A = this chain, B = another copy of it.
């Protein structure tokens, strides 16, 4: 406790000095960076009409495409496909059954042809049947060894350095940073604390049902193949209200799946910041928007333009994309 106090104290004492240095070094100077800094300064300045008390400084971030990459498919998809391959020896029937056959043969067209129903089957067999503790260990093991096909690096290395700086900058200014993602809540919680500094209790995501039961006198929670919340699109404000119970004053997304979260954030009184990450850099990351099946940015881009929300242009606004660059 004393050590923690001293660290905290020293942080406070150097705060004025830090304010002189750049809290967002990987962001190019320009309108976007200025808008972020201006917003944070105005809501934290007690003499400002826009001042907002620390407990109300809730910031919500989408994950896929906003905090880390999401191409050529959502990273949780790679996890699910790798799990199918790992489980295949116990499921000889998958050799002839789509979409499992397609996954085992790396035939993505066949997988896509199985549609949402096929994908739901894959999610069910890879994300349920085990206890929550077992699932966390499976994800942890996978993250420790799986590599992204393009970058040949661990998936948790493909996070956006400028967004890490933004998260840290917000926290240093009294914000509580949350993830609000369509991704699986149990999947994300394995790495968000280490990778983003966001603890499990500040992660909102899609939720599966679980069942409490006793196994050899020890209680466990078993993951069931039944969805409780799809935390995407109109499900994002639902998830925010359910898990946080307060409205964000800052929200960041990158796709139409984030539109309702941004609308929900924008609609309250007081200073608000709505941001979109636009993927414009095919060389360093990817470039896609209105036509993409993954992370489509179409309606949300129109609304951002109409309502003057902040749109980050990766190519223009980010000096650096990934920490390892």
Q: Which chain A residues have a beta carbon within 8 Å of chain B's beta carbons?
A: 1, 3-5, 8-9, 12, 15, 44, 46, 54-55, 58, 132, 173-174, 176, 185-186, 189, 193, 199-201, 203, 207, 210-212, 218-219, 221, 228-229, 234-235, 237-238, 241-246, 260, 263-264, 267
How many copies of this kind of chain does the complex include?
A: 2
- B242–A207 contact, CB under 8 A? yes
Q: Which of B5, B173, B234 contacts A12 (CB 8 A)?
A: B5
Q: List 11 A-B contacts (CB under 8 A).
A: A5-B15, A176-B201, A186-B245, A200-B246, A210-B242, A211-B238, A212-B234, A212-B235, A219-B264, A228-B228, A228-B229
Interface centre among A8, A176, A189, A210 (most CB of B within 10 A): A210
Q: Chain B residues near A4: list those with CB within 8 A.
A: 54, 174
Q: Chain B residues near A15: list those with CB within 8 A.
A: 1, 5
- B200–A244 contact, CB under 8 A? yes
- B201–A245 contact, CB under 8 A? yes
- What's the nearest-Cβ distance from chain B to residue A74, in Å? 20
- A55–B199 contact, CB under 8 A? yes
Q: Which of B12, B200, B218, B241 contacts A245 (CB 8 A)?
A: B200
Query: What is the bound-complex CA distance between A3 and B15, given in angstroms?
Result: 13
- A212–B264 contact, CB under 8 A? yes
Q: Which of B46, B237, B246 contacts A219 (CB 8 A)?
A: B237
- B9–A219 contact, CB under 8 A? no
Q: Chain B residues near A8: list those with CB within 8 A.
A: 8, 12
